[in-house]
């Protein structure tokens, strides 16, 4: 999979996970909870962090 930005092609990494997430297959199962921080970092590009919050219905 690639994304074209201007005249350059940038590669995009994509992964597939079970619909309930990968925490379901851990032993014991483990899921994200309010207060957890998810951080994604790419060398020489940067990082992004998101804090998990309770869903308000």
Please list the residues that pair with 36 across neighbouring strands: none
Between 10 and 54, the more confident residue is 54
Predicted TM-score (pTM) of the model is 0.54
User: How do residues 8-43 score in pLDDT, each as one tens digit?
Assistant: 556 666 666 666 677 888 889 888 899 999 998 888
Sort strands 8-11 and 37-42 into parallel, antiparallel or unpaired. Answer: unpaired
- Quick one: average pLDDT of 35-53? 92
- pLDDT above 70 (res 2): no
The pLDDT confidence band at residue 1, using thresholds 50, 70 and 90, is very low
- In this predicted structure, what is the pLDDT of residue 30? 85
Tokens 């994509």 sit on residue? 14
Query: Domain coordinates of the chain in residue numbers?
Result: 21-57
């Amino acid at each position: 999979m690639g994304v074209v930005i201007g005249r350059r092609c940038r590669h995009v990494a994509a992964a597939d996970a079970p619909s309930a997430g990968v925490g379901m297959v851990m032993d014991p199962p483990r899921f994200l909870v309010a207060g957890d921080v998810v951080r994604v970092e790419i060398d020489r590009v940067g990082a992004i962090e998101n804090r998990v919050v309770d869903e308000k219905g």
